[in-house]
Structure 1
């Protein structure tokens, strides 16, 4: 009967993790560039697998979020695949969050203070706030090209290691420049979280926890019957 306890524990643990994932997604529904987290069991169900212990695994859904116009010249959105390259101290990170502002030194920085990198490496520095950024990432100052923003793709996006809510380190992934990037100036990419999907995940987790609780109740009932039977035979 110990198998009932193990199964119930696995189911309850999986449902708790599913609720945590859904809550985390909802909390970041307004975070630009945030990518929805998915419990690993969600991916396995389509192939017929049903191991509740695997539901604690997490993958990212890197599908593009909606692009919204802001008219802020330093808001940049990626249309299609790719990540911006950012410098965080002595670390290089990658992100689709394109909310930038001009620092006092003329660098384009994220709200976290990470610095946008230009093609070939090095901080992107602007002399003035009136720069134009074309679709292919070319930075124009009074019509004169002064730099280019390069986008990168990951050989395996799920090998990226999350840093905060919308940034990643390369981890085990190999990062390669994108040949034909598409950057939209004055726009940002919203998160790809859909509230309806998260509500379904929460409801599924609650039903899952109920089944785990029923297993535990069944175990308690069986133990009670065994103890009662043993008491009657004495």
Structure 2
């Protein structure tokens, strides 16, 4: 009897984890360049002496859907999108971070920054700055920043051998931890464009309904098992 309870509880824990991830995807459906995540589960067998093994559900981890979101034209010269596998390099108080959210602006000193005032870096890990007296700023597909007097700097576009190792740290930023980036040679920059979230809300809503139904089914199993245990406890004195 206890095995059925433990199995049901392990399923509910896995479903809760899946629900949390699905809810987070839906919450970021309008977040620029957001990549949806999906959970990974595996069977966990517990072997018992002279008895059949018991199969539980184990939360193995999650993976990120790296497919590009839809590109939308904004007309703003500091809105940038990465076409291909690549990330902008950002300087934050916590260290170097990476993002595909290219919604930038100029601070009072002419530094290109994110909405959280974190500086965009060039390929030499220097902040990208623009002379404020020149209004026209253009970004070439290779990341070269050009103003009226001529070329200034080149944006650092990087990629990773396995982008799944990047850890989300909020505000569209990723932490590479101890993994070293490499130049994103096949990625290009699109100016006056932003990448939308790749979350598909209809699929996520459908998944949420399936999760709730599966959770209710597991709960019904637990309730039935509880009723059976109570009935057994009540009848045991009679049998003795």
TM exceeding 0.5: yes
Deviation at 1:212, TM superposition (A): 1.5
1-structure distance, mates of 2:171, 2:136:
30
Q: Is the partner of 1:52 in helix, strand or coil?
A: strand
User: 1 or 2, which has the higher strand percentage?
Assistant: 2
Contact 1:154 1:175 in 2 (8 A): yes
Deviation at 1:53, TM superposition (A): 2.3
Contact 1:84 1:94 in 2 (8 A): yes
RMSD: 1.9
1-structure distance, mates of 2:137, 2:227:
73
Partner of 1:109: 113
In the superposition, the TM-score normalised over structure 2's length comes to: 0.88
Gaps of 5+ in 2: 44-54
**1:160-171 superposed matches below 5 A:** 160-171=166-177
2-structure distance, mates of 1:226, 1:35:
50
2-structure distance, mates of 1:16, 1:179:
40
Q: CA deviation digits over 1:62-113, x for unaligned, max 9?
A: 2111111000000000011100000002510000000000110111111111
Deviation at 1:121, TM superposition (A): 1.1
- Is 1:68 the equivalent of 2:72? yes
Partner of 1:26: 26
Partner of 1:124: 128
Partner of 1:39: 39
**Deviates most, 61-70 or 169-178:** 169-178
Gaps of 5+ in 1: none
Contact 2:85 2:186 in 1 (8 A): no
In the superposition, the TM-score normalised over structure 1's length comes to: 0.90
2-structure distance, mates of 1:51, 1:27:
30
Deviation at 1:143, TM superposition (A): 6.3
* Number of residue pairs aligned between Structure 1 and Structure 2: 227
- Is 1:183 the equivalent of 2:185? no
Q: CA deviation digits over 1:171-211, x for unaligned, max 9?
A: 24331011243100000111111101211220221122022
